[in-house]
Structure 1
Amino acid sequence: MAAISLRRTKDRVLVGQLRSKTVETVRFKIYGDERERYDQMEAESKKVVRELIATGRLNRSYASIRGAVIRLRQMCNDTTPFSSYLKSLLPSDDIGDASEYPELLRKLIDVLREDEDFDCAICYCPPTDAVITICKHVFCKRCIGTCLQRTRSSCPICRGRLSMSDLFSAPPESSDPKDPRKSTAIIPTKVSTLIKLLKESGEGRPNSKSVVFTIFQKMLVLLEAPLKDAGFNVLRLDALTDARRRVGIIKKFQSAGQNTVLIANVKVSGAGINLTAASEIYLLEPWWNSELEEQAIDRVHQYGQEKNVIIVRLIVKDSIEERILMMQERKKQAIEAFGMQGPKERREVSLEDLCSLLSLE
């Protein structure tokens, strides 16, 4: 390609034609039960990692440590699943006889631990209501169910024969009717902070539209109802949105009136779509890969944008999110100073990085 093409980046070819963009970081504290549950989860995660270090198993436990880090990141969004997240720190041996198919169950639990590290092969996002097939492949329950209904009964990965009776899920989490967290809908602090910022923006920039990006598919579910209750017109773009519906949603967003918010999973919003109708971007979590973040931002801040763009990062104070931001900055400075990382290294998070994120040097 080098012989027949010229590479010009956006910054070089569109200087003077692009509207400005401003990046703001909004830091806020969590209190009460949220703080208590987060702190307990972090303490237990550190305890598990220290035990791995003491027993010489650290280098063989990358997936488990990454899983613990991802759970802490999710706890910054919503601490309600605290009990199930705490159980996920337990070694798989503790779950051995919980199913008629312990080998399948162990593999499923391992995949769920990695969460952000593993994508459903159908929707290309972390699995929602994950199920495992008899041939040991993991999908979203809805994705594989729809696939088996539309196509011949075979696994999308190995093409082995497959039916609904060959799908298995982890045992349901125990429910305690006395647990007030499950009987009352409490809006997490991060969601209420987002709503407050959106309302303030609506007062200051009444004709603006917003895009909210999140890494986690489950966060879209958590966001939709509170945003609608707050009076916003909400559109949703997620991993289960097929290509035709995706085009329709984007067109609807482009033509929608003020007070419209598009909530989107970053993995289906990173390339190939135009969201220039929006002028405000809210990033609910800091990302491992700053390039992926920039790619999502460029769906709004690109040629054709008629307004200045405001980008807002939401960060929980005294949490793993602040440490992720520091890790991003260190890596960015290393790349600028030494050019020492290729694309693969920029995407990956090392074992040393994970221990640093848990404040374990």
Structure 2
Amino acid sequence: MENPEEESNFVKGGTLIVCPMALLGQWKDELETHSRHGSISVFIHYGCDRTNDPREIAIYDVVLTTYGVLQSSFKSNSNSKPSIFHRINWYRVVLDEAHTIKSSKAQVAQSAFALTAYCRWCLTGTPLQNNLEDLYSLLCFLKVQPWCNWALWQKLIQGPYEKGDEKGLRLVRGILRSLMLRRTKDTKDTNGRPILVLPPATVQIVECEQSEAERVFYDALFRKSKVKFDQLVAQGKVLHNYASILEFLKLRQCCNHPFLVVSQKGNQKYADLNKLARHFLHESNSAPSKAYVEEVIDGLRRGDVTECPICLESASDDPVLTPCAHRMCRECLLASWSSPAGGPCPIFRKALTEASLITCPYENNFQVDAHENWKDSSKVAELLKCIESIKRSGSGEKSIVFSQWTSFLVLLEIPLRKKNIGYLRFDGKLNQKNRERVLKEFNETRDKTVLLMSLKAGGVGLNLTAACFQCLSDPWWNPAVEEKAIMRIHRIRQKRKVIVRRFIVKDTVEERMQQVQVKQQRMIAGALTDDEVRTARLEELKMLFR
């Protein structure tokens, strides 16, 4: 806790809630639902016409904003006066989906650390995703002394943990015991009764058998992958390319549908990377430095997958380059803009339009018109079989189809239209207003019984209990991400039995990824040291290419 009177020239405020954009409307609805009419005032600070006067928002009991707005305000004011959020002494700051700030050096984390508040709360289902540093960043925001001192953290916790010394983990458990209020679906009250009673949830594995043509294509792709992988092993560069191997060779997309590999409408105008470099240096109004452009072009040549500065994950699904040569997920960038007409680059702050974005060049000698040449893949056929079975039952039950690739959701629209199955689409390309419209329509309509949803946009925070069937169309590296997606429908207000189907193609990389997920769960639980994790990653990749 901090003293809100420390900065007497600051405005006194109420509660600031920072959350992903998709949750703004839901937070407002929940606050109004669970309070007496007119008892609290709620303001959403988001959009292109945002005020910069802290007095205008400090009068509200609760202010809602997004991580993107907080970060951009902090960065754009870093060399002048503090941002609107940092000129208010908040009574309480709440970070929803707080693992968003897991990287303590990232701008979004720094903008959260700099807030002034009497009370600080972190809400997250996954405080620890990949390593102990995720937790360190949350403690920095909470101002838990002395554990927000990196040198001390490294000496007493991170260092011992990496050496396999249990003292580090024991200390972490002791710290959390005094800070963390943990509630799960299995938690019981003092009388031994569950604090939450939900209908049962069943998770089923649907095994998909590839057709002969699919298998031939997959095997050819796999052989090409293995050649590249063996070269990296020999050069000792595997772990530096951990994220890019499977993305570069499209093995995982191929399991969903071969068209994800051969029919993408990439912008081949800049397939020649030298031409792309000349565009950045001589034709772009943003004029990035020559050294930076060379670094970006070299990364493209190596097939590197870089971190998206918005979602802080690998920018591997439909990555784009801005005119200022910054690389990020198209979905994340469009979602960060408050207007469909365009918005700023999150790094350079220069105004952009969608037309100015450059699709990252890729090596693809095949071009297939998916609409004209459509044929169901084995996985799509199984997905449709499940959806049609629900439709034939006449129950009117609704389904959500999750995928980590928005391009797969685009492909799924083709057979759904052909079979006259009503559907809606929810991904990061929708602005806040359209996201709320889609969710409202899905909750209320009887005609649209399928919601196609990207894992990135819909896998956090949303309440989707209008559906009781869920299809996870592709496995994710981190099992916690899949669990959070399942919790979108298996939560408070769900009155029906929930059925979750995970679609896995037999005898492919997807089957072996399930084994990787088990190891990921062990690592998150603290059963593996960082040295074991590094060794495990190499072994995991070797296992995938057996």
Sort the TM-score into its range (normalised by shorter chain): 0.7 to 0.9
CA displacement, residues 114-172 of structure 1 (integer Å, 9 cap, x when unaligned): 3xx74473898956654323432024568569959878985321235778897544568
Residue 157 of structure 1: aligned partner: 347
SS of the residue 1:12 aligns to: coil
Distance 1:17 1:258, change over 3 A: farther
Please report how far the alpha carbon of residue 103 of structure 1 lies from its aligned counterpart in structure 2 after TM superposition. 3.6
Partner-residue secondary structure (3-state), 1:10: coil
Given candidates 198, 209, 216, the residue that maps to 1:36 is 216
Counterpart residue number, 1:91: none
Shift of 1:257: 1.5
Q: Is the 8 A contact 1:80 1:181 kept in 2?
A: yes
For 1:41 and 1:223, locate their aligned partners in 2 and report how far apart those are by CA, in whole Å: 22
1:257-272 pair list within 5 angstroms = 257=446, 260-272=449-461
2:546 paired with 1:356: no
The yes-or-no answer on 1:133 pairing with 2:133 is: no
3-state SS of paired residue (1:74): helix
What is the deviation of 1:251?
Answer: 1.5
Query: Which among 191, 195, 200 is matched to residue 20 of structure 1?
Result: 200
Quick check: 1:206–1:258 contact (8 Å CA) kept in 2? Answer: no
Provide, for residues 297-321 of structure 1, a one-character-per-residue CA deviation record: whole Å limited to 9, x for no partner: 1110001101000010111011111
State the match for 1:65 in structure 2: 245
Q: CA deviation at 1:187?
A: 2.6
Asked whether the 8 Å contact 1:209–1:261 carries over to 2, the reply is yes
Tell me by how many angstroms 1:288 deviates: 0.9
Residue 294 of structure 1 deviates from its aligned partner by 1.0
Name the SS for the 1:25 alignment partner: strand
- Pick which of 241-250 and 305-314 moved more: 241-250
Aligned-pair CA distance for 1:219: 1.1
Q: Secondary structure at the match of 2:206?
A: strand
Residue in 2 that maps onto 1:75:
254
Quick one: structure 1 residues 303 and 125, their matched pair in 2 at CA, closer, same or farther if it must change by over 3 Å?
farther
Partner of 2:36: none
CA change 1:50–1:209 in 2 (3 A) is: same
Moved more, 295-304 or 195-204: 195-204
- Counterpart in 2 of 1:8? 183
- Aligned 8 A contact 2:309 2:346 in 1: no
Partner SS state of residue 17, structure 1: coil
TM-score of the pair, normalised by structure 1: 0.78
RMSD value over aligned CA atoms?
A: 4.1
Cα distance in 1 for partners of 2:400, 2:449 equals: 9
Q: 1:120 to 1:187 in 2, by over 3 A?
A: farther
Does the C-alpha gap of structure 1 residues 141 and 323 become closer, same or farther in structure 2, counting only changes over 3 Å? closer
Aligned to 1:316: 505
Relative CO higher for 1 or 2, CA cutoff 8 Å, sep ≥ 6?
A: 1
SS in 2 for 1:156: coil
C-alpha distance in 1 between matches for 2:486 and 2:195? 17
Identical aligned residues as a percent: 31
Aligned partners of 1:41 and 1:309: how far apart in 2? 36
Given that 2:396 and 2:449 are in contact with CA atoms closer than 8 Å, whether structure 1 keeps it comes out as no
Q: Any stretches of 5+ residues in structure 2 without a counterpart?
A: 1-120, 122-176, 189-193, 265-270, 280-292
Change (3 A) 1:342 1:226: farther
> Residue 203 in 1 paired to residue 392 in 2?
yes
**Which has more radius of gyration?**
2
Within 5 Å, give how 1:177-326 maps onto structure 2: 183-204=372-393, 206-257=395-446, 260-326=449-515
Shift in Å, 1:199: 1.2
The AA in structure 1 aligned to 2:256 is N
Structure 1 unmatched runs, 5+: 86-93
Correspondence for 2:310: 121
TM-score between both structures, scaled by the size of structure 2: 0.54
Other structure's SS at 2:258 match: coil
For residues 518 and 311 of structure 2, the distance between their equivalents in structure 1, rounded to whole angstroms, comes to 33
Q: Do 1:287 and 1:293's aligned partners in 2 also have CA atoms closer than 8 Å?
A: yes
> Which amino acid in 2 is paired with 1:319?
T
- 3-state SS of 2:187 partner: helix
Cα distance in 2, alignment partners of residues 197 and 145 from structure 1: 31
